[in-house]
């Protein structure tokens, strides 16, 4: 398993700015709690699945098989 940043540097820059503005919480989410802290619970659960390949919700990270 390999998790990497999105190849699109503009997306990476935009999401990182959003993370900074929201104190490390996913900029795509309204609520701020432990589940939305980057790397969010949703993506941690997705990468635990050996069959999952794809982006996290905000498209900052990509999991390769």
Q: How many structural domains comprise the chain?
A: 1
- 22 close to 39: Cβ distance less than 8 angstroms: no
Q: For residue 4, name the pLDDT band (cuts at 50, 70, 90).
A: very high
Tens of pLDDT, residues 24-55: 999 999 999 999 999 999 999 999 999 999 99
The residue ranking higher by pLDDT, 65 or 33, is: 33
pLDDT at 65 over 90: no
pLDDT at 20 over 90: yes
Structural domain boundaries, residue 27: 2-64
Angle at CA of residue 27, ends 17 and 44, nearest 5°: 110
């Amino acid at each position: 398993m390999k998790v990497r940043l999105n190849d699109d540097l503009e997306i990476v820059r935009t999401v990182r700015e959003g993370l900074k503005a929201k104190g490390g919480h996913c900029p795509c989410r309204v609520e701020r709690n432990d589940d939305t802290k980057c790397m969010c619970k949703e993506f941690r659960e997705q990468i635990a699945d050996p069959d999952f390949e794809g982006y996290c919700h905000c498209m900052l990270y990509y999991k390769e098989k």
